Structure formats: C-alpha cells, structure tokens
Copies of this chain bind each other. A is one copy, B any other.
Amino acid sequence: MSAFHFQLHASDGAARNGTIHTPRGEIRTPAFMPVGTAATVKAMLPQSVRETGADIVLANTYHLMLRPSAERIARLGGLHRFMGWERPILTDSGGFQVMSLSKLRKITEDGVRFRSHIDGSEHFLSPERAMEIQRLLGSDIQMVLDECPPFSAGESEIESSLELSMRWAKRSKAAFGAQPGHACFGIVQGGTFATLRRRSVDALVEIGFDGYALGGLAVGEAQVVMFDTLDATLPHLPTDRPRYLMGVGKPDDIAGAVLRGIDMFDCVLPTRSGRSAQAFTREGPLNLRNARHAEDPAPLDAACRCPACRDFSRAYLHHVVKADEIIASMLLTWHNLTYYQDLMAGLRAAVAAGEIAAFAAWIQNAYARDEAGET
C-alpha cells in the first residue's frame, strides 16, 4: 500500500470522489492544492496550511530552479524539509512559467533556452532537465515538460505545439524512470479543439502515466468553452488515474470541473486574492477594502473556522487592509484557503451523497453572478 495509487470511492455522474495514496500521506479528491511558488504558500506557515485542510501543495520548478536552485535544495535534504511541509508536493515542470515570465526564450526540439526574470541569467530547460530538477526537489508528483502556446494561437500553431509537447512527454517519462512512491503525470494539450485534445490523450495514454493533467485551459477562454473542452476530453481518459485541471480556478470553475470528472486543482486565486483584500465566502466574493465594512462588527463568515472569522470583525479586516498591514494578507489568505478546502470537502461529500449537481449549481449561483468580484 505504500506505492502511489488512486482509489475511487464513489461516482455521481461523471464526478468522482477518491483518495490518492502516497508514502507521504493521502490526498482526498477532489483536491485543491495551494500554490507554494517559491517554497512558501505566501503569507502562511506550513502548519497553518495544513490546518486549512490541505493534503498537498504545489511548488514551481521554474522559480525554484532560479532561486535557490534544485541542487541547493537537494543538498539541504529536499524540498519537503526545506519548506517545512512533510506531506505530498506536486511540482510543475517549469514550462508554463518559462512561457509567461522569462525573457528572450528560444524553443527548439531539444528544449527551451531563456533568461531569468530575476537576474537575466541564462538557463536551459529540456524534458530531461525538468525531470532531473523535480527529482532533486524530491517531488511526489512530477509533471512532464510541455510547451504552452498563447491563448491567441490558431489551430495549426496549437497542433504543432501539441506534437512537440507529446514528443517531450515521451522523453519526460523516460527521464522520470523508476521512482517508487513517486508519480509522473502527463499533460493533455490541444487548446479548445476536441480533435486535438483527443489526439493528445491517445498519445499520452500510449506512453502511460500515473495521472493526467489538462493544460492550456483557463488562459482566457470563456467558462463554457473550458467546460465543453472538459466534456470532449475527460471521457477518453482512463478512469483509474487521477485527472488534474492545471491553474483552475474560481469556485464555480472548480464546481463545474468536478461535475465533469476532474480530481485535482491548483490556483493562485485564494492566496493572491488574500493579499489584495478579496475574500471568498459562501455568499460570494467580498472586497474588504469597501467602506461598507468599516464599522461592521460581524465576522467575515460566521460559519467559518479560520482565525480571521473566529477572532476578528469585518471592521478590523477593513482597517488592516486600509493600513496595509501584513496581518491583512495573513488573515485573508488563511480564510480563502479555508474556504477552498471547505469547498472541496463539500464537493467530496456531495459526490459521495449523489448530490453533486445541486451542490455545483449552488456554488455556480453564488459565484457566477460576479465574475470580477465585488469591488
């Protein structure tokens, strides 16, 4: 039982409730992974992240390879010890950030050469190097290197990018090799084109992975287009492996994706929003900067168990937001991550109870009415 494997507990339509078993602990699915970009979930201590209910966090290969470097983290005993988080960690391959953050990148069949956004130093990332970095970090779930075409790309550009990504996926899997207890996930690309998504799934399944991620979504397309793409893709994936929708999303995005069969999510939204006065609640988003909270003695969410809701008023949160105090980021991040974990617990329970459609509709109703959030 110590090997990496996925256990399905219940289904409700396409929605699934399960457990991913790893030597470092169980991951209850559907799962939300807080983002710990640079070996820290911003404004949180690891123990507090765990208290919100997180079973796993994500860390970014791109950021860590540049600073402090994978080799240094390895010499210090690996990423878990380095960042004080002993439970599972998923690392991305660095591909997405190279495309979005780095400068002067040049993509060839071999890999991608780029300059650091921090100090301009030159770096090279190939499928083999991406997997080597993730192994040095000691990552529990390692992602293949893929190319991430821009949202503006046309079908032929996405198709040739996809072909490159599939060749890289094969090389990534070979480089991953055998790492008992660790997993390697493939990444389905193909934009919003059903035929390309299908081709990508077939290529990855032929290689064979421990789980399958969907990349290239939530990059600007409408929610309905993302959901249509999930509907066209997920039925072709093996049911005995976890499915991970990368970089998603808002509560209603997550609810809709769970409804369609996604098991894992990551997104900077709860943490980033927490640093800009935005709070997620059962009734929808709230902006604590809004003057109407200035003298409100009520908690942010009376039903919430986090310190922001348990120990403080909306008036206090408004005050520390206005005063640019660090505690504002600390409390709102803690609250938002708690909201997200409670959302996932609710989704898991709804799947188990056969009530996922109603639960997803309720979340959709609270969040879809205000895409940009209260201002």
Interface residues of A (CB under 8 A from B): 38-40, 42-47, 67-68, 72, 75-77, 82-84, 275, 294-295, 297, 307, 311-313, 315-316, 318-320, 322-323, 325-327, 329-331
Knowing A76-B313, A295-B76 touch, does A43 contact B82 (C-beta < 8 A)? no
CA distance A331 to B326 in the complex (A): 13
Question: Among A39, A84, A318, A319, which residue has the most Cβ atoms of chain B within 10 A?
Answer: A319
A315 & B40 in contact (Cβ 8 Å cutoff): no
A44 & B295 in contact (Cβ 8 Å cutoff): no
CA distance A238 to B144 in the complex (A): 74
CA distance A68 to B82 in the complex (A): 40
The residue on B at minimum CB distance from A66 is B323
The 8 closest A-B pairs by CB, nearest first: A84-B311, A43-B326, A40-B327, A38-B323, A68-B319, A40-B325, A76-B315, A82-B316
Q: How far is the CB of A288 from chain B (nearest CB, A)?
A: 13
Contacts of A46 in B (CB 8 A): 311
Contacts of A319 in B (CB 8 A): 38-39, 67-68, 82
Q: How far is the CB of A78 from chain B (nearest CB, A)?
A: 12
Knowing A311-B84, A312-B84, A316-B83 touch, does A327 contact B44 (C-beta < 8 A)? yes
A82 & B313 in contact (Cβ 8 Å cutoff): yes
The residue on B at minimum CB distance from A326 is B43
Partner of A294, one of B43, B68, B307, B325: B68
Q: How far is the CB of A152 from chain B (nearest CB, A)?
A: 31
A-B contact pairs, 28 of them (CB 8 A): A38-B319, A38-B320, A38-B323, A38-B325, A39-B320, A40-B320, A40-B326, A42-B327, A43-B326, A43-B330, A45-B311, A45-B327, A45-B331, A47-B311, A67-B319, A67-B322, A68-B318, A68-B319, A72-B295, A75-B295, A76-B295, A76-B313, A82-B316, A83-B316, A84-B316, A326-B329, A326-B330, A330-B330
CA distance A13 to B76 in the complex (A): 49
CA distance A297 to B320 in the complex (A): 35
The residue on B at minimum CB distance from A48 is B45
The residue on B at minimum CB distance from A81 is B313
Contacts of A77 in B (CB 8 A): 297
B76 & A327 in contact (Cβ 8 Å cutoff): no
The residue on B at minimum CB distance from A327 is B40
Contacts of A311 in B (CB 8 A): 45-47, 84
Contacts of A44 in B (CB 8 A): 327
CA distance A323 to B116 in the complex (A): 14
Contacts of A316 in B (CB 8 A): 39, 76, 82-84
Q: How far is the CB of A50 from chain B (nearest CB, A)?
A: 12
Contacts of A47 in B (CB 8 A): 307, 311
Contacts of A323 in B (CB 8 A): 38, 40, 67
Q: How far is the CB of A137 from chain B (nearest CB, A)?
A: 13
B325 & A42 in contact (Cβ 8 Å cutoff): yes
CA distance A307 to B83 in the complex (A): 12
Contacts of A320 in B (CB 8 A): 38-40
B327 & A326 in contact (Cβ 8 Å cutoff): no
CA distance A2 to B82 in the complex (A): 48
Q: How far is the CB of A17 from chain B (nearest CB, A)?
A: 32
Contacts of A38 in B (CB 8 A): 319-320, 323, 325
Contacts of A45 in B (CB 8 A): 307, 311, 327, 330-331
CA distance A286 to B300 in the complex (A): 39
Contacts of A40 in B (CB 8 A): 320, 323, 325-327
CA distance A42 to B324 in the complex (A): 10
